[in-house]
Structure 1
Amino acid sequence: MDISTKTTDASPPAPEPDVAQSKRNARGATRPGDRIFLGLSRGSGILLLVIMAAIAVFLTYRASLAISKDHGNFLTTFEWNTNLTPPSFGIAVLAFGTIVSSIIAMALAVPVAVAIALFLTHYAPRKLSGPIAYVIDLLAAVPSIVYGLWGALILVPHMQGLYGWLNDYLGWTGIFSWDGGAPRAMLTVGILLAIMILPIITNVSREVFRQVPRMHEEAALALGATRWEVVRMAVLPFGRSGVISASMLGLGRALGETMAVATVLSPSYDIQASLLDPGGGTFAQNIASKFGEATEQGRDALIASGLVLFVITLLVNGAARAIIARRKEYSGANA
């Protein structure tokens, strides 16, 4: 005789979906506080776009007035004579000086800042990392003019030894040749900018490295990795996008730095082949030094150069966003 058993499902029946609640969630927030917060957030984003567009329109309008009266080529002319009739001015020297000084600053600051951030988060004892991080935070709050005065009174006189060494061993390249003049050149400006942006890059990189999942590091250690291998395989890949963002913040300050560059640099409207020869200029330094005594035409010309700096900054930030988007697999959100 066959005995058949009837099996029953012990799991409770699935609850009926709340159609009304789903529709409310689809429409958005329903509570007054949520609606207010949503409106404020959306309005803040729109307001930022409106402000950026207004700045771009203002700069473009005033720049068009100046460029229409420019007797020279705005992109390739070396001189800056806005008081002539007709005026002749260009941004060739300013663009070259801004880009070169920023590249020097980034090349010096980024490796040192990342190394300091790694030391504070993975090597230094807590009693030592705390005071060092506090001092670095204080350096980020020092005004630009203080850096400029320090650079003019302390850094410039002590750069002669470095300039002489570079001339003796690398002067044959032409880039590091030095004729013995005052070291108020692009290399000095780049070093000063590197010191100024170092705290920004260090602080952001340090916070990014602190967010590395502890399980990643412990897994690498369990597999027999050394401390450096843990940093190389777990910490740096995780924090790569954060380091790029920190570097872009530092680059933004280097591109727009004004008073420190104006205090240290000996400006001239000529492009020097050597980084050790005095001369050159930057957009921000030129605007700060000439805006007070400029005529209406001169102010429009300075605004035109500010428009170029504005565009360069947007391009730099866009490039940084593109680099980060291409490396989403290294972002902390996917860890």
Structure 2
Amino acid sequence: MSGIRASFGIERSGFRLDVDLSLPGQGVTALFGHSGSGKTTLLRAIAGLERAPGGYFALGDEVWQDERRGLFVPTHLRPLGYVFQEASLFDHLSVEGNLEFGRRRIPEAERRFRPAEVAGLLGIGSLLGRRPASLSGGERQRVAIARALLTAPRLLLMDEPLAALDLKRKLEILPYLERLHDELAIPIIYVSHAPDEVARLADHLVLLDAGSVVASGPLTETLARADLPPAFADDAGVVVAAVVAAHEADDLTRLDFAGGSILVARRPEAIGHRLRCRIHARDVSLALDKPQASSILNVFRATVSAIAATDTPGQVLVQLYVGATPLLARITGRSRRVLDLQVGRGVWAQVKAVALLG
């Protein structure tokens, strides 16, 4: 499949969505922004639940909306799956009955998945005989995702599917969402306002603010930008692709990345396993000389590539490169002046904490 094209303008009282996007036709695209930024409105427009005057949407060569030609495919005729914040299961049906409801919506010749296959993928095989009222929030969402998949979608839309879950249930369902990413050739558009969720799941990132797209691109490149609007600086941080290289004798694991190695608390994964690491800008400090006798183990030679203001008075965001890998550091303006930081200057970056995302 080629890419996805989406162009919508929707006017509401005190709000306007105005987007023109080209997105990859595979992997997970995350729509990220603060409340009221237009994420759900955009998702509803893609689904055809909101009809944008002059709107256009195409999934590969299949055009679902082109108002210039008077073309609008209604939602029920679009081959898409939609997973909402609430699972919205049929309480009078068992889990198996809910799955069968999704499967029966599609002619037999168009069905792409068997119920047993989807149940195995999402770990709900043991739940088939139960009613939704007896399920946890995470189990209900997995059933809702399975039902959506059984409608044979060519595009899966997910509107903050973890927002209603507590932390324990979120951690329960995230590995299953990663399996969808790894094992299914269906593009997913995923709405979230949780940075760690996006960093763990997404391949492509769209940042929305007040109804407009402020950035769109591959996840790692977009998160590493220093020129994003200052409102996004509070969540600033990069995602680093790494591989488990060795398990050290003192209960540390070495992860290799394009630029060096990171030491973290011992991990259960085997050598060769790939992981994503999130390094927050607030967890990176800078020095002109290599620190000596420090408790911080992860210290890298880096080069300053950009410096930008933030919304917080007295603080700046510094973009660095460690080899081919970008980092961000959030420091005070005074520290910038004391260190005389300029683009091109060499520094030592100390990484105080690394979040492993799986």
**TM-score, length-normalised on structure 1?**
0.23
The structure that has the greater radius of gyration is 1
Higher relative contact order (CA closer than 8 Å, sequence separation 6+): 1
**TM-score, length-normalised on structure 2?**
0.22
Q: Where is the strand percentage greater, Structure 1 or Structure 2?
A: 2
Q: Where is the helix percentage greater, Structure 1 or Structure 2?
A: 1
